[in-house]
Each structure stands twice: as C-alpha cells, then as structure tokens.
C-alpha cells in the first residue's frame, strides 16, 4: 500500500488529499492504449484547473487492484491515515540516510519530484500539466529545481564529453540502452526526432 501511495504521488502529482480519496470508480482503462488507465473525477481535481484527468500505467493499476481486493468501488484504495503515511515517509528517509528535516521531505515532495521529472523530459509546459497549475509561473517558481552557473558547468561538461569519442559503436549503444529515468526518456525522444528527420 505504501509503495502504491508513493507511485501515485510521483506519477500523477495530484494533491495529497486526492490520493487518499482515490477510489476504483475514479479509474477506467484508456480506450486506445492497452497499458494506460485514466484517473478522472471532479472529486479529485479542482474545478477550473488546467488538468481534469491523470494517466497511470497498468502496473500501477494492478497494484491498486491487489490492495483493494473485493471492496466496493466507493471504498478508497488507501485505508491508512495521511499522518501515518507522513511518519512512514520519515522512516523511509532515515533508512535511506536522507535528512528529511533539512530537506523538508513530505508527500508534497513526491508531487514535486513528478513535476521535476516531467520538466526534464518535456520542458515547462509538461511540468505545468503534471502539476495541474493554471499558470506556468507557479510551476516555475515553486516546483522546478533552480539551476545556476549553466555556462560554467556546460563548458566543463563539454571537455568531459571527449571520453565518448573513445567508445566503440557497440559500447555506445549498450551505454544508451542502460540509461533509465528522465535522461533515458529524453534520449529516446531525441533519437526518434533524428530518425523522423531522415524522411523529410
């Protein structure tokens, strides 16, 4: 159950209160994509917000189904309290040697992590949609990790990139395939652009 809460918080970036209100009646399979489920409800999303639904992968939906069992579709998935989960998150931080007090880790941090991930893959608009903000300014000021001294870092990184010239083609391909998270998704997106540009 705790794993599912973390997955929902990061992948959807919905409010903490909405996570704990989530019920089977709020989730339906996508008509066109086999492995996608749609979370949609006026109960979960603020009226007037830019986003009124969220997508989750079938693997996440399967975990939710396992947790829920045969209960009514009006029964929430998560039957632990928000405060109890906050305590769980603190214990996980201690176990991972993360200073949750100094870094102010909370369920809201998971929402921010999902928004940051969307930003790294798709830019500010994607981050805004992930957070569900009506204004990209809110997303930029409050949710996106600030970067400083990009020129200085970029110059050094350019020098460090020389190591890639020494890789064989097979080694470079193996390296690219091994990269996960946001960086891997960005690379796949750029690779598709390169392939598509061949046909123009």
| Mean pLDDT across the chain | 80
Distances (CA, A) of 137 to 88, 109, 127, 134, 141: 32, 19, 11, 9, 6
| 117 pLDDT tier (thresholds 50, 70, 90) | confident
> Domain segments of the chain: what residues?
2-103, 150-197
Percent of the chain topping pLDDT 90:
17
- Return the pLDDT at 62: 94
In whole angstroms, give the CA distance from residue 22 to residue 40: 10
Cα distance between residue 131 and residue 118, in whole Å: 9
pLDDT digits (tens, 9 = 90+) for 121-170: 888 888 888 888 888 888 888 777 765 444 444 444 444 556 666 767 77
Classify the C-alpha dihedral 104-108-112-113 as positive or negative. positive
Per-residue pLDDT at 35: 92
Sheet order of strands, 53-57 included? 27-29, 36-40, 53-57
Burial bucket for residue 85 (CB in 10 Å: 0-12, 13-18, 19+): buried
C-alpha distance across the termini of the chain, in Å: 48
In angstroms, the CA 67 to CA 4 distance is 9
69-100 pLDDT, tens digit per residue, is 889 989 999 988 888 888 888 888 888 888 87
Cα–Cα distance for residue pair 18/52, rounded to 1 Å: 12
> Is 90 exceeded by the pLDDT of residue 64?
yes
The pair of three-digit structure tokens given for residue 23, joined into one six-digit string: 């019920």
Find which of 37-46, 56-65, 135-144, 187-196 is predicted with most confidence, using mean pLDDT. 56-65
Entry pTM: 0.66
């Amino acid at each position: 159950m705790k794993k599912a809460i973390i997955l929902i918080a990061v992948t959807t970036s919905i409010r903490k209160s909405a996570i704990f209100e989530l019920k089977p009646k709020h989730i339906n399979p996508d008509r066109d994509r086999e492995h996608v489920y749609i979370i949609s409800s006026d109960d979960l999303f603020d009226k007037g917000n830019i986003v009124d639904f969220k997508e989750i992968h079938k693997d996440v939906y399967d975990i939710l189904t396992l947790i829920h069992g045969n209960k009514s579709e009006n029964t929430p998935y998560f039957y632990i309290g928000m405060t109890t989960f906050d305590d769980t998150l603190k214990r996980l931080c201690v176990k991972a040697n993360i200073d949750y007090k100094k870094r102010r880790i909370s369920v809201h941090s998971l929402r921010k992590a999902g928004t940051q991930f969307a930003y790294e893959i798709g830019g500010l608009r994607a981050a805004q949609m992930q957070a569900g903000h009506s204004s990209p300014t809110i997303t930029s000021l409050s949710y996106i990790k600030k970067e400083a001294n990009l020129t200085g870092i970029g110059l050094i990184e350019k020098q460090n990139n020389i190591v890639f010239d020494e890789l064989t083609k097979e080694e470079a391909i193996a390296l690219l395939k091994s990269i996960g998270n946001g960086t891997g998704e960005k690379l796949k997106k750029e690779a598709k652009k390169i392939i598509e540009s061949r046909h123009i």
